[in-house]
Every structure is written in C-alpha cells, then in structure tokens.
Amino acid sequence: MPLKITGITGIPFIKKGDPLDEFILKALSDIDMEIQEDDLLIIAETAIAKEEGHIIDLKDLKPSPRAFELAEKTGKEPEVVEAILQESVEVIKVGPDFIISETKHGFVCANAGIDESNVDDGLATPIPENPDKSASRIREKIMEKTGKEISVIISDTQGRAFREGAVGVAIGISGLEPLWDRSGEKDLYNRELKTTAIAVADELAAAASIVMGQADEGIPVVLIRGVNYPNMLKNDSANIKPLIRPKKYDVFRP
C-alpha cells in the first residue's frame, strides 16, 4: 500500500469542551473518507490545548523579576517570559529572541513550547498538561466509534539544535511505540546494526507537518495511511518518554 498523507479539512475552530473526536470523524465523512485499520492520526497540540481549555491569558500573569530580566535579554514581552518560566523546570540557554528550557514534561525546547499563533491576541497555548493522556483519550473514543485499531500522535513544531528552521515533532502518543530499536538487524552489506534507533513518532509528525502547515492553512489534524511498521511497535500503553534523552546523557547541556 502506498503511503498516503491527508490533511483533514473542515474542522471548525475549536473551543473548550468541543468533541474533537466527533469533529474529526465528521470532517473525514465530508471528504468521503473513513477510518481504516492501522490509520495514524496526527493532531496539532494547539487543537488539544483549545479543546482542553489549557490556554494562558497573558494579561493575568504578573511577571517576576526574573521574567523582566530575561525579557530585557530576549526582547520578549515580560508576560510571555513569565509564561515560559511557569511552564519550565530549568532555563538552559538564553538567546537574543529565545529561551531554551526544560518543560514540566521533560522536553528541552525553545520557549517551553509556548505558542502565540492560531489563538486570539493576548492568549498563548502551552504544551498540553499530559499529551500522552490526551492522545489516548481521543484514540479510545475514535476506536469505540469506528471499531478500527488506530494510533494517535500529538505534534508540536520545534527547532533543532545546530539547524535552522522548525519541524513537526511528537510530544504525545498512543497505540504505537515512538522509538524503533533496529540494533541487531543487518544492513544491505550484511553488517549488523549496533545502535540504530528510529524516532518513528517524530518522522510521522514531521511528515504530517508538511500538510498541516504553520500559518493559516487551518488543518489541525492529518491522517497517515500505509505505514508498514512491524506489529511489535503496536502498544496500547506506549508513551513518549523513550524519545526523551536522559539528562545524564545530554552532553550538550551546560
């Protein structure tokens, strides 16, 4: 089966408490598609944040002295910096327009994943409180309604160390192991792979990001069909933690 990546159009602006699973199924029906066995759904974290009501009203924040200090260094608004600090457990590096920090979830990324795009002025969306739980909740509802086994990934757009530009990455997952350890397999020259692990969840999130877009495309959900991963990667209790490098192995952290 060829790999097929489809942006699900027609999903309305999402508000707190909206049934995102029903929106997805209705939008699929409107484009003459339905969920099939082993489909993958990639959902933008902003859609999850809106559905769960996990939105920051920046005017309600009182910046700390540390927030004013970092605002001066980065050129960011103090309220935005305060939001970043509240979502972080450690500030790692400060640049002219960014703050690299470790979030409450263990992700190391710019600005704690705080996003001011695709929300009303004065609001911001942080990374969902529990992206794995969010992915599992939506997956279970869709499987219950369709009777099909699927996987769900919550994606975010993040930069990468030593490279310009941003790509889609996975921050939550359900139904699929995010990391595929291929050590022990053979390459084309019959050499045994020693340390090869594939970040399948990030690969899928990046592929979906091509269709999802970053501006006014209005496609918060993407369906990927035809991925031929081995059955051993299917796991109802999978979570995103295998993708997070333990701090003791992070040789780039000061």
CATH code of the domain containing 117: 3.90.1660.10
> 59 and 95 share a domain?
yes
At 98-143, the pLDDT tens digits run 999 999 999 999 999 998 877 888 899 999 999 999 999 999 999 9
> 35 and 60 share a domain?
no
> 243 and 229 share a domain?
yes
Write down which residue in 108, 127, 146 finishes a domain: 127
> 47 and 164 share a domain?
yes
CATH code of the domain in which 157 resides: 3.30.1330.100
Tell me which residue has tokens 């707190």.
Answer: 16
Q: Average pLDDT of the chain?
A: 93
> 226 and 149 share a domain?
yes
Could you tell me the pLDDT band of residue 216, with boundaries at 50, 70 and 90? Answer: low
> 45 and 154 share a domain?
yes
What is the residue range of 225's domain? 1-54+129-254
At 20-78, the pLDDT tens digits run 999 999 999 999 999 999 999 999 999 999 999 999 999 999 999 999 999 999 999 99
Query: pTM of this prediction?
Result: 0.94
Give strand pairing partners of 94: 99
> 50 and 64 share a domain?
no
> 198 and 99 share a domain?
no
Give me the pLDDT at residue 218, please. 84
Write down which residue in 127, 155, 183 finishes a domain: 127
State the total domains in the chain.
2
Write down which residue in 127, 149, 171 finishes a domain: 127
Could you tell me the pLDDT band of residue 2, with boundaries at 50, 70 and 90? Answer: confident
